[in-house]
Amino acid sequence: MADDEPLARMGMKKYIGEVPNLTLLGECRNGEEVINLLKEKKPDLLFLDIQMPFKNGLEVIESLEYCPLVIITTAYSQYAVKGFELNVADYLVKPFSKERFKLAVDRASELISLHALRDNEQIVIKSNRTLIKLNIPDIVYLQAMENYVMYSQFQW
């Protein structure tokens, strides 16, 4: 989590502590600290303020070799388009509610799960009363049909 404002960091710590399976790995007060922390630790998710000393949040994202999924937490809505151009998971405008924070975390969790699924390269589906293992790169489409799945695979 990165924010130059102590009160904002305190609020974020509280929200993070209330979400199961979300662990705070570190706090940063400026862009340089974020870069150093990410070199040391490889979090799945980063809560990142935009207006910070040394490097702002957007400059941090642009400068990283390894960039976790990012949720922007800022008082400035005018950077939203740039944030989404940098593939942030969500954009929270301060002050935000606990419910809005939880929604952003849920969205990020879904994206992290999709990335893990993609990295696994295979899924198992039930089709015609049997379980079938499919290679993800070969899937053209999946269609839910009540309690089974219709699928099409790319044929070489």
102 shares a domain with 149 = no
Q: What is the domain range of residue 75?
A: 6-119
32-60 tens-digit pLDDT: 999 999 999 989 999 999 999 999 999 99
| pTM score of the predicted model | 0.75
Provide CB contacts within 8 A for 27, sequence distance 6+.
Answer: 1, 2, 9, 13
Q: Per residue in 52-99, pLDDT tens?
A: 999 999 999 999 887 899 999 999 999 999 999 999 999 999 999 999
- Please tell me whether residues 102 and 129 are part of one structural domain: no
Does residue 86 contact residue 63 with C-beta atoms inside 8 Å? no
Task: Give me the phi and psi of 29, to 5 degrees please.
Answer: -105, -10
Both 74 and 128 in one domain: the answer is: no
Q: Is residue 70 a contact partner of residue 88, using CB atoms and an 8 Å limit?
A: yes
- Quick one: the chain helix, strand, coil %, rounded to 5? 40, 25, 35
**Which DSSP category does 137 fall into?**
G
Please tell me whether residues 26 and 93 are part of one structural domain: yes
